[in-house]
Structure 1
Amino acid sequence: MKEHWNIFLIAVMFLTRIPVGKWIDYEQGLLARSTLYFPLVGAGVGMIAAGALWLCALAFPLSLAVLLSMLTTILVTGAFHEDGLADSADGFGGAAEKARVLEIMRDSRIGTFGAIALWFLLTAKWILLTHLCELRLETAMLSLIIAHSAGRWSSLWLIWRLEYVRAESATAKPFASSVTPRRFWLASSAFVLIALLCFNWLAFFIVIAAFVVSAFAAGFFKRRIGGITGDTLGAANQIVELSLYFVILTFENASKTLMPEWKFF
């Protein structure tokens, strides 16, 4: 149990800026095993965002509460995944050849495509979450929890299915062969359980949506660069998260209009 708690804290340390370093016994092999807890850490980040949303909604308009919740998430994660999305957008948007795409991704500066991708991502999140809040605050809070969990699950799935194309990358190395079938299915079971706890039968569509979007992302990455990098994992994470807000809002609107007596949770 102590070992698994240590591995969980390593996952927290890797995916967030929450200061847990003094409580862990770190080694690279344990970092590889920490992928098992990615969906749980994602749910934890979502809970922090949901808590911030609830507190801010007590004092501010919903649109501002959503904005402050998003800012809280960025502070907790250090914009880890958003940075990957921006770098991926610059790479894929700025070049066609694999070598050039990877070269652009390595550049820490944000270009035109990266800036546009970030603007679209943050604006779309703000609009979707604000609409979810207007329908029901609890729905938006639960959406944050499951969407953040799904985003981290997508990273796990992509690591399992595709190869890293930059074997020399220090960030990528520990995860290159870290996701065994057993580890993947255990983590996936945790993700499905979180979805069920949050949204009852809608969990089926949430899990399917997360898988479909991840599969499309995998196909695109495989076709363009032959696999994944740390940046593409961050990009997929954000795309899956955004997609789930859209899916949940669609079902909520449909249920309100066509099936007002149905509840998702």
Structure 2
Amino acid sequence: MNLKLQWRYFLLALGFFTRLPVPSFPDFQESDLNHSARYFPLVGVLVGLLAAVTWWLAALLFPASIAVLCSMAVTIYLTGAFHEDGLADSADGLGGGLDRKRKLEIMQDSRLGSYGAVALVGMLLFKFHTLSALPAAMLPFSLIAGHALSRLAAVYIMATTQYARPAGKSKPLATALTQNDLWFASVFGLWSWIGFASLLWLNHGGAGALRFLLLTALPVFLAWEWWRRLLLRNLQGYTGDTLGATQQLTELAFYLGLLAWSQLA
């Protein structure tokens, strides 16, 4: 494996999905971004880690709810609200368009419509209250696993559907994934989730850890499958905006599953 090339792919993924400074690549080719998709979940691990550190520092000085808000604000700043914007645009397009062409046109419009506003505000409120209800000891691990797993869900959308349009504001975008790309992405996306389960095994035994895996995997899969079918029915594929929406929906689904587990533990 060419480590220098892999580092380049990772930096491309980091620069595409965050505000963090990375070197410029004057010889950039679209195939590079295709391969960098394998590192999308790893970018999620980094974003989740920074959110967890922010939450921990804020919790030393402020009430728990303020600490959660601080962690959410950091993730939004780090990503430039990239995924939240995708959620809002997807809601506007799917909610306001009467046919496929019009839905795609609306999604390219940078203005925020009523469907997008409701989806965005609802998502932020839902996420805030869900995170605030989680046990404090679980929050750092929840943020890391949630951000990684949700970005893996977006990669799986890319792998199982086709790109809905040849050009648009989301270009350049990875549109062709190899089996190696999917394998790498799966490892990076699942290791924090499985590692979380391993920690729970120590305190809650094997049954508790298995219940955690089931109660978090099931809502993520159901949200992913529902969204995927909705995209195929309305757009015959995905766009950059709908990938952002995938990340937001599955991240929230993970937190909800985790909250259900904590209530039953």
- TM-score norm. by structure 1 comes to 0.89
The 5 A counterparts of 1:1-265 are: 1-21=3-23, 26-132=28-134, 135=135, 137-169=136-168, 171-172=170-171, 174-177=173-176, 179-200=177-198, 201=209, 202-255=212-265
1:211-261 residue CA offsets vs partner (Å, 9 max, x unmatched): 332122111100011111111111111000011110001101110xxxxxx
Q: Do the aligned partners of 2:83 and 2:245 also contact (CA within 8 Å) in 1?
A: yes
Question: Could you tell me how far apart the structure 1 residues matched to 2:99 and 2:108 are?
Answer: 15
* Identity between Structure 1 and Structure 2 (%): 39
Q: Do the aligned partners of 2:197 and 2:213 also contact (CA within 8 Å) in 1?
A: yes
Q: CA RMSD in A?
A: 1.7
SS at match of 1:175: coil
Question: Could you tell me how far apart the structure 1 residues matched to 2:23 and 2:214 are?
Answer: 36
1:1-60 residue CA offsets vs partner (Å, 9 max, x unmatched): 121112111111111110112599744321211000111110110000011000000000
Residues matched between the structures, number: 251
Question: Could you tell me how far apart the structure 1 residues matched to 2:170 and 2:95 are?
Answer: 23
Residues 56, 24 of structure 1: CA spacing in aligned structure 2 closer, same or farther, 3 A cutoff?
Answer: farther
- Give the gaps of 5 or more residues in structure 2: 199-208
Question: Could you tell me how far apart the structure 1 residues matched to 2:179 and 2:218 are?
Answer: 19
Residues 121, 187 of structure 1: CA spacing in aligned structure 2 closer, same or farther, 3 A cutoff?
Answer: same
Residues 160, 172 of structure 1: CA spacing in aligned structure 2 closer, same or farther, 3 A cutoff?
Answer: farther
Question: Could you tell me how far apart the structure 2 residues matched to 1:32 and 1:212 are?
Answer: 26
- Give the gaps of 5 or more residues in structure 1: 256-265
Alpha-carbon deviation of 1:171?
Answer: 3.2
Q: Do the aligned partners of 1:6 and 1:25 also contact (CA within 8 Å) in 2?
A: no
Question: Could you tell me how far apart the structure 2 residues matched to 1:78 and 1:7 are?
Answer: 20
Question: Could you tell me how far apart the structure 2 residues matched to 1:86 and 1:227 are?
Answer: 18
Provide the residue aligned with 1:263 in structure 2: none
| Code of the aligned partner of 1:194 | S
